[in-house]
Amino acid sequence: MFGCLVAGRLVQTEAQQVSPDKFIFSLPDYDSVNHLVVFLLGTVPFPMNTGGAVYFCCGGVDGGGGWQLLGFISNDKPSAIFRISGLKPGNSGCNPFSMMGSSSVAQVGVSIESLDLLAQQTPVSSSAVSTLDSFTQFTQKMLESLFNFTSSFALSQAQMSPNPSEIYVPASAIHKWYENFQRRLMQNPNFWKT
Ligand SMILES: *[C@@H]1O[C@H](CO)[C@@H](O)[C@H](O)[C@H]1NC(C)=O
């Protein structure tokens, strides 16, 4: 169902199925890997209203690794690139896949979960590839700048001189938009493209 690709290596399409909804790829020599692509092969789609959470685990029993959430793939977004070079070994063991790797072999896990559940989870921030990172940072700054700028014109109703022909927008409406946009951006930096 899934494939896993590191530039310069063979594509892996034989994931080990460790439970009905969990799959694992081994990633030898992960120290030399910067980016990782996980994708749907296209032969079998995700069941309705589900997608795949992509996890990474480096280090094992000896290295004290833990599963870290990289991001998601779904039928609407059937492939994704992740940066793993900046990830530090976690400390919670390799659950929920209940498999341990040796310390030079990392593991990539795909867990099939409901889209609702996926939307509530936040990937480790360093897993986003850097162009998306700076793009997201810029967008956040821009949102903040617009919010700050418009806020500087804020008046309470008591401070206003009545002007029946002027139209006002409540500052709370701008703040609400700001928070919504920010949340959608965190969930998927490319949401505006769809
Ligand atoms: C917006 O205002 C906050 C609080 O005054 C400030 O910390 C932040 O740097 C400002 N952001 C921008 C982009 O101007």
115-133 pLDDT tens trace: 999 999 888 877 776 555 6
Domain check: are 93 and 18 in the same one?
yes
Query: Is pTM, for the whole model, over 0.75?
Result: no
| CA-nearest residue, atom 8 of ligand 1 | 144
What integer pLDDT is reported at residue 84 of this predicted model? 87
| Cβ partners under 8 Å of residue 120, min gap 6 | none
Which range among 11-25, 27-41, 101-115 shows the weakest confidence by mean pLDDT? 101-115
CA distances from 22 to 7, 41, 51, 108, 184 (A): 24, 16, 12, 11, 27
Give the atom of ligand 1 at the shortest distance from the alpha carbon of 147: 1
Domain that holds residue 156: 134-193
Q: How many distinct structural domains can be found in the chain?
A: 2
For ligand 1, pick from 137, 144, 146, 147 the residue to mutate: most ligand atoms within 8 Å of CB.
144
Cβ of 156 less than 6 Å from ligand 1: no
How would DSSP label each residue in 29-68? TGGG--EEEEEE-SSSPPPTTEEEEEEEE-S-TTTT-BEE
Domain check: are 26 and 105 in the same one?
yes
| CA-nearest residue, atom 14 of ligand 1 | 145
Cβ atoms of 30 and 83 within 8 Å: the answer is no
What integer pLDDT is reported at residue 91 of this predicted model? 44
| CA-nearest residue, atom 1 of ligand 1 | 148
Domain check: are 41 and 75 in the same one?
yes
Which range among 25-34, 97-106, 139-148, 152-161 shows the weakest confidence by mean pLDDT? 97-106
- Pairing mode, if any, of strands 79-83 and 35-40? antiparallel
Domain check: are 19 and 57 in the same one?
yes
Tell me which of 79, 108, 127 is where a domain ends.
127
Cβ atoms of 35 and 82 within 8 Å: the answer is yes
Tell me which of 80, 100, 127 is where a domain ends.
127
